[in-house]
Chain A
Amino acid sequence: MPKVAAQADAITGRRRGRRVTTSLSEINVIPLVDVMLVLLIIFMVAAPMMQKGVEVNLPVTRRADKLTNTDPLYVSVPTSYRQDRRVFINQDSVPIDLLGERMRQSLQGRSDKQVFLRGDGEVQLQELMDVFGRLKEAGVEKIGVVAQERRNQ
């Protein structure tokens, strides 16, 4: 369409040099791809009765899904993270710098790229963002935030 218009101008000789403004007819997919790349699915699960992992004071919520994963991979962020910058993969204490590589190893051979985050209620969102970033880099696709369900409602 724009091509035809430009030709007509050229033939008549009028308005030579004037730019023909056109609209881009394709969907620009690049921003969409960007979104897909940073997308990390975060959902909330209720803490199961039997728990592995280190002890943290889980945040409290009103409603949460049941944890159905039979072999969940836990990452725990205790309040001590603020001082020593260490988190736990299941029972294993790991400095935050090595979390990405250790998580890559843990995800090897697992079909679900899913991690359950047991963060202490006191831990700040800023601190968790660092953890999220490293998990994402290691290939984690879904993070389940583990919470304590409020019982006396």
Chain B
Amino acid sequence: MPNYSFRTKVVGAVIVAASAMVAAQQPAPQPPAQPQTQTSVGVIISDSAGAQVRLAVPDLLALSADRETVEAARTIGQVLWDDLHYEREFYMIPRDTYKSIPPAASIGTVPYERWRELGADGVVIGTVQKVATGIKVELRLYNVKAQQSIYGREYTGAAANPRLYAHTMSDELHESQRSMRGVARTKLTFSSDRNREAVLGTVEKREVKEVYVADYDGANPRRITINRALNVFPNWSPDGRSIVYTSYRTGAPDILISNIYAGTMETPSKGSGQNWLPVFSPDGTKIAFTSNRDGNPEIYVMDRDGSDVRRLTNNPEIDSTPTWSPSGTQIAFASGRSGTPQIYVIGVDGAGIRRISQESYADRPTWSPAPYNEIAFSARTGPGFDIKILTIATGETRQITFGEGTNESPAWSPNGRHLAFMSTRAGRSQIFTVDRDGRNLRQITREGNNQTPNWSQ
């Protein structure tokens, strides 16, 4: 478990550095050199009554009057509020109730008494200043009762994407105040027909599906593939630098890896048979996938470069949609060997196969990250599908969507607290996120048809 949290921290840093590399205009928040005291208990706000800690995040103070700075100050406050609200760790006081409270004159002078009247335990006050290299953002969390600053951060970077400063602060606040990993800097990848081009070549009059990435909240969508074919089932590499997906660009499905920051592409399966549904192993060195190279869809594992291909399953029925266990030692998949599709688990060495689902029809398993030992899947519950979660230890299943449209393709957030999935509840197929208890539903995409989401580490 400590190993896990260490790894995720490093990965988070890589994502930020990487996004700065690919697009020069992206800001790269730099934590200040000041020593951190977040291990001390004294800096954590807690409510004496044991209720949720109540936080307020007003607009930041723009220290320069130009439009860009003023806009950034407003955006960072709103996005930080949204990010903190998303994890449901704090009671976030609605922003429309702050109107009567005068903005802080500077970052050091906070009208504590007014915030106390509003019921706030903590308030985040910040400033944005224009500097030669872009903007400087300073954020402080004040304990309203003790009337002191308990956590501070200063970031300097480009002004193009102020949301990233808010995301970074949110993740660091969750880390320091709740010792948990937030998802504010993570990204979603999905397949979309939003550019409305028609497919070239073999599949006529079908719309192109290209792979896109977007922030976890749907902001900053970007297109990754440009091959005018069907590109579906994208899956992040653990370092967040590559996306592996199924592409029909040659007519038959094959596995492609796009290294999104380097701008290069790999074809690891080297065109043997039809290959689809690739997923990276938790350490990023292997890819599990489905292939019919031996005549019938079976689960295979290969090294990332395409070498050392091993077949795990051997059954005349279809075996597909592999997903790795967090330890990388087991693979869950859907198989029709008992009549209807059910979820099975098998060791990566091909041994110890066992059936774990008892549904009428269960498809698209995805294994949750540690510490939750759960598998989310789509189960047929009527005309459409609903998302269900199976706890492996107990074998118990709970349902988190209830027949509003069809709900398919669940994908876990890296902290295991949320799921992204495709739903038709709002008309066309769109990406939604929901918490693992079925609450906090949010629509992420709105343009075109979007499907098969996957959440970056």
Contacts and interface: CB of A to CB of B under 8 A. Distances in A.
B93 interface: yes
Interface string A77-103: 000000000000000011101101110
Contact of A108 (B91, B97, B99, B117): B91
Contacts of B94: 101
Interface in A113-137: none
Given A98-B97, A101-B93, A101-B94, A109 B119 contact: no
Interface in B74-114: 91, 93-94, 97, 99-100
B311 interface: no
A105 B90 CA distance: 12
A95 B117 contact: yes
Interface centre among A94, A98, A109 (most CB of B within 10 A): A98
A98 B52 CA distance: 19
The main secondary structure of chain A at its interface with chain B is: helix
Contacts, number: 29
Contacts of A105: 54, 91, 93, 119
B118 interface: yes
B97 A101 contact: yes
B51 interface: yes
B102 to A, nearest CB: 13
Nearest to A103: B119
Contacts of A101: 93-94, 97, 118-119
B51 A108 contact: yes
A98 B56 CA distance: 13
Nearest to B116: A92
A28 B97 CA distance: 37
Given A105-B91, A108-B91, A98 B118 contact: yes
A100 B52 CA distance: 18
Given A95-B117, A108-B51, A108-B52, 5 more contacts: A94-B117, A97-B100, A101-B119, A102-B118, A109-B51
Instruction: Rank and list the top 8 A-B pairs by shortest CB-CB distance, nearest first.
Output: A101-B97, A105-B119, A102-B119, A97-B100, A98-B118, A98-B117, A94-B117, A109-B51
16 contacts: A95-B117, A97-B97, A97-B100, A98-B97, A98-B100, A98-B117, A98-B118, A101-B118, A101-B119, A102-B117, A102-B118, A102-B119, A105-B54, A105-B91, A105-B93, A105-B119
